[in-house]
Amino acid sequence: MSTAEERAAIEAGLDPARMPKHVAIIMDGNGRWATGKGLPRLAGHAQGYSVARRMVEVAAGFGVQVLTLYTFSSENWNRPQEEVEGIMRMIAQAARAELESMLEEGVRITVSGHLDEVPRDVREELQRDIDATRDNERIILNLALNYGGRTEILDAVRRIAALTARAELAPEEIDEELFGKFLYSPQLPDPDLLIRTAGELRVSNFLLWQIAYAEIWVTDVLWPDFSREDFVRAIADYQKRVRKFGKTEEQVL
C-alpha cells in the first residue's frame, strides 16, 4: 500500500493495516432503480456502469488489491433479449472506452467465466484489455462475466476427473489447494469481503467455492445509488469483525 493509499484510508476513518485484499460485489438493483424512476431498465444498467467505474477508483485509492464485480451471470441470458443485447453492447463500449484510463491508472483487467460464449465483439474488446493491461499492478479488476459458481465447480471437477482417468493424477492428491488451481482465476486470493446491494440476502451462484470464509455485507441501497460513503461503511464494518476461520475468538485475538 502506498503512502497516498494509507492517507486516504486514515482520512476515511479506516485502518490501512486491516484493508481487505479482495472485495467482491454483487451489483444488484439496476432494474429496480430504473423502474422506480420511470426509465427503461437499460438506463439503470448505464447508471450502474458509472458507479462500477467509480468504485474501481475508490477501491484502488484505498489500497484494495482485487475488485471482482458480478457483471453478468450465466443465468442472466434468460432476461429479455433487448436487455441482454443492451448489456452486451454496454460492456463492449466500456471495454473500448476505458482502456486508456485503465492503463494510466494501473488497473489490470481479468475475466472469470465463459468468455468464449459471449458475442464476438465483446470477447475481442475484453481480450484486448486483458492483453494490454496484464503488466499493471495497482489493482486487479476481475469481471465475473457469463459466470456461474456451480458451473465453475463442475468445470474444475471435469478437468480433475479427466486427469485421474488418464492416471495423471491420483485421487489422494486431490485437496483444497489443488482443487483451487482448476478454478477460473486461481491466481486471485479468495474474497475477504462480499458486498451485496439492494437488500437481497442470497449469494446468487457467485464465487461459491471462494467465498467460504468471506465476510458478507448487505445494504438496501440500489447499485446505481451506491457511493464512496457506502463503500467506506462496508470496509469499516468488515474491520470491526473478528475473522476466526474455525478458531475461537481467544485464539485469533
Residue position matching grid coordinates 476513518: 13
Q: Which stretches of the chain are DSSP H helices?
A: 3-11, 30-36, 41-61, 81-104, 120-133, 149-165, 176-180, 228-240, 249-252
The pLDDT of residue 192 is above 80: yes
Q: Which residues are catalytic?
A: 28, 76
In this prediction, residues 142-150 reach a mean pLDDT of 98
**pLDDT recorded at residue 95:** 97
Over residues 82-110, the mean pLDDT reads 97
Q: Which three cell numbers stand for residue 242?
A: 473478528
Mean pLDDT, all residues of the chain: 96
Inform me whether the pLDDT recorded for 251 exceeds 70. no
Q: What are the tens digits of pLDDT across the range 29-52? A: 999 999 999 999 999 999 999 999
Cβ–Cβ < 8 Å for 226, 52: no
Given a cut of 80, whether residue 76 has pLDDT beyond it is yes
User: How do residues 58-74 score in pLDDT, each as one tens digit?
Assistant: 999 999 999 999 999 99
Domains of the chain listed by start with CATH number: 21-147+191-238 (3.40.1180.10)
Confidence of residue 2 (pLDDT cuts 50, 70, 90): confident
| Residue 28 near residue 197, CB atoms below 8 Å | yes
Whole-angstrom distance, CA of residue 23 vs CA of residue 194: 6
Other CB atoms within 10 Å distance of the CB of residue 85: 12
Which residues on neighbouring strands pair with residue 109, listed in sequence order?
Answer: 141
* Model pLDDT, residue 1: 78
Alpha carbon distance 153, 182 (integer Å)? 9
Is the model's pLDDT at 249 over the cut of 80?
Answer: no
pLDDT in tens, 198-209: 999 999 999 999
Predicted confidence at residue 253, as pLDDT, reads: 64
Q: What is the pTM of this model?
A: 0.96
Measure the CA–CA gap between 188 and 207, rounded to whole angstroms. Answer: 12
For the stretch 157-186, pLDDT in tens is 999 999 999 999 999 999 999 999 999 999
